[in-house]
Chain A
């Protein structure tokens, strides 16, 4: 018996190996002309794995603290061997993960994959996107350069515009002003709290997916123009192939465009010219900039936040207002709402960038 066979026998005597094998050989994935979009969930997952991995590696060199945060990132990119590369991979990976998550969200939206029985998959997915943006926000602040300082300040100040938000803002900031405790708390959120919640939600998300399988868009299902391929090995291999492409894309971007680091944050210096948030907050940022000081008897900021909150809630509730079995005008409406949402995000993001040249 070879070592491999012995090991297999060892496992078989102790675990239900055959049951796992049966399970994976029966798992099927639909294959059709829109199946391409199924890859984006997996791509998001792949980038998350990269982030956890490079994040843990960065922890060996990054030193949070008012005196040390910026200095240590500077040391990482100038002195530590390949530090610039690992940092660049982490930053680029974060951006690519969020881009993939957005594409994933819109593709499941247009496939109407949020309908019964998949409502919980939809909601956990939205939670993951929110957490991913939270990770982006908290991670960005850890560099503590001038841009990060003011972006973080703006982000936290924005929470104060929401009723009860002052308490949360105070907790995150560790007092009325940004300082060493702010970094410490951002750090705790970024490397422990948010990742663990993310992993928990991710587990639920994948578990639901495993129960329901991939949604076949209605039109394609009716026409019968699809076939089912085994998840293992067919789909897993094309998935891995796509992951390899993503890894190479990430490596090229990270190596050719090393992530930027600004001058150390100085709370007494004026905010840097052309300050802007990361692209995934740009649409919201631009919307808030348009708000006048007062709208309908409340502060423009509160109004903007409420508007955004209401829109997000409406979006999350799509399984309720467009349930399975809806046909005709109502079913079309959901598609139009989706297009509107997509156009709003793209349009406002571009607007935000052109109004704020880098």
Chain B
């Protein structure tokens, strides 16, 4: 290798390093978000009259994400995460089918267990822990 070649290599190396030194702070800057960690909610309470009859449901805010509470036709009450496991849409309870459905790509889940039944969702909806007391439903992370 000639001397000239070596010099070229060194020059290119230095230029490359310089570019990296410029790029690093830039990428870190762009990556910085507001940094508010997910609100740490441990338990919320939902009044009983929110789902008075069999076949009713309600979406509620659990931390920064939606949850869903359902009173099925047989009277049993369940609480689940309402974020679809496919691409993050918010699911809904379909009374006529007695299933949890997602409007985005037609995913369907079991209304009690959250098991994914059909459509693209790859995993079941996580259950939330539900305690029924005299003054309401107490919901917390399972």
Interface residues of A (CB under 8 A from B): 57, 60-61, 75, 79-83, 85-86
Q: Size range of the interface on B?
A: under 10
B29 pairs with A82, CB closer than 8 A:
yes
A79 pairs with B29, CB closer than 8 A:
no
A79 to B31, CA, bound (A): 12
A75 to B32, CA, bound (A): 10
A79 pairs with B25, CB closer than 8 A:
no
Please give me the residue from chain B that is nearest to A81 by CB atom: B28
Interface residues of B (CB under 8 A from A): 25-26, 28-32, 34-35
Total A-B contacts with CB atoms under 8 angstroms apart? 27
Report the 5 A-B pairs with minimum CB-CB distance, sorted nearest first.
Answer: A81-B28, A82-B25, A80-B32, A81-B32, A82-B29
A339 to B139, CA, bound (A): 79
Please give me the residue from chain A that is nearest to B29 by CB atom: A82
- Hey, which chain A residues are within 8 Å of B34, CB to CB? 75
A60 pairs with B25, CB closer than 8 A:
no
- Hey, which chain B residues are within 8 Å of A60, CB to CB? 29-30
B32 pairs with A85, CB closer than 8 A:
no
B26 pairs with A83, CB closer than 8 A:
no
- Hey, which chain B residues are within 8 Å of A85, CB to CB? 25
Chain B interface, DSSP helix/strand/loop, else mixed: helix
- Hey, which chain B residues are within 8 Å of A82, CB to CB? 25-26, 28-29
- Hey, which chain A residues are within 8 Å of B31, CB to CB? 81
> In the assembled complex, how far is the CB of residue A243 from the closest CB belonging to chain B, in whole angstroms?
12
B25 pairs with A61, CB closer than 8 A:
no
- Hey, which chain B residues are within 8 Å of A61, CB to CB? 29, 32
A81 pairs with B35, CB closer than 8 A:
no
> In the assembled complex, how far is the CB of residue B28 from the closest CB belonging to chain A, in whole angstroms?
4
> In the assembled complex, how far is the CB of residue B31 from the closest CB belonging to chain A, in whole angstroms?
7
- Hey, which chain B residues are within 8 Å of A80, CB to CB? 29, 32
> In the assembled complex, how far is the CB of residue B30 from the closest CB belonging to chain A, in whole angstroms?
6
> In the assembled complex, how far is the CB of residue B120 from the closest CB belonging to chain A, in whole angstroms?
33
A57 pairs with B32, CB closer than 8 A:
no
A85 to B31, CA, bound (A): 15
A137 to B32, CA, bound (A): 28
A229 to B34, CA, bound (A): 53
Please give me the residue from chain B that is nearest to A87 by CB atom: B29
A307 to B56, CA, bound (A): 77
> In the assembled complex, how far is the CB of residue A77 from the closest CB belonging to chain B, in whole angstroms?
12
Q: List 8 A-B contacts (CB under 8 A).
A: A60-B29, A80-B32, A81-B28, A81-B29, A81-B31, A82-B25, A83-B29, A83-B32
Please give me the residue from chain B that is nearest to A58 by CB atom: B29
Please give me the residue from chain A that is nearest to B24 by CB atom: A82
> In the assembled complex, how far is the CB of residue A275 from the closest CB belonging to chain B, in whole angstroms?
31
A315 to B26, CA, bound (A): 42
A30 to B31, CA, bound (A): 46
> In the assembled complex, how far is the CB of residue A32 from the closest CB belonging to chain B, in whole angstroms?
30
A86 pairs with B25, CB closer than 8 A:
yes
A57 pairs with B30, CB closer than 8 A:
yes
- Hey, which chain B residues are within 8 Å of A86, CB to CB? 25-26, 29
A46 to B73, CA, bound (A): 71
Please give me the residue from chain A that is nearest to B25 by CB atom: A82
